[in-house]
Amino acid sequence: MSKIIIAKKVRPTQRQYEVLILRVMGMKYPEIEKSLSISQSTVKKHLTQLMVKLNCFSQSELVDFAKSKGWIESSLKSSGEIEYRVRPYEQVGALQIFKNLN
């Protein structure tokens, strides 16, 4: 039996991107909810939709994906604080995602 693999171009919505970046920065659902003035269920919905869109199976995989694409980078300052550099949403292009249908 042959494998069926499809490729599709996807791009997170601006809100999905905002939620993801805050999650990568270590924020918990209640903190994201407060920061973006949305409910916790909406935070979960955005992350779940993004996981499906990007073919990720866990939030940790989603975080790794964001870092691997250069959407967010972190470094440790001499003070011990973590410094984050976030790519502006406008610079996040569509990505080619491959999905195995078997």
User: Which pLDDT score, from 0 to 100, does residue 33 have?
Assistant: 96
Distance in angstroms (rounded) separating the CA atoms of residues 89 and 1: 41
Q: Kindly state the tokens that stand for 13.
A: 């919505």
Fold of 5-100: Arc Repressor Mutant, subunit A (1.10.10)
Please, what sign has the CA dihedral across residues 67, 69, 72, 76? positive
Q: Are 72 and 62 in contact (CB under 8 A)?
A: no
Each residue's pLDDT tens digit, 49-90: 999 988 889 999 998 989 988 888 988 899 998 899 999 988
pTM attached to this predicted model? 0.82
User: Which pLDDT score, from 0 to 100, does residue 94 have?
Assistant: 75
- Any idea where the domains of the chain sit in the sequence? 5-100
Per-residue pLDDT at 5 exceeds 80: no
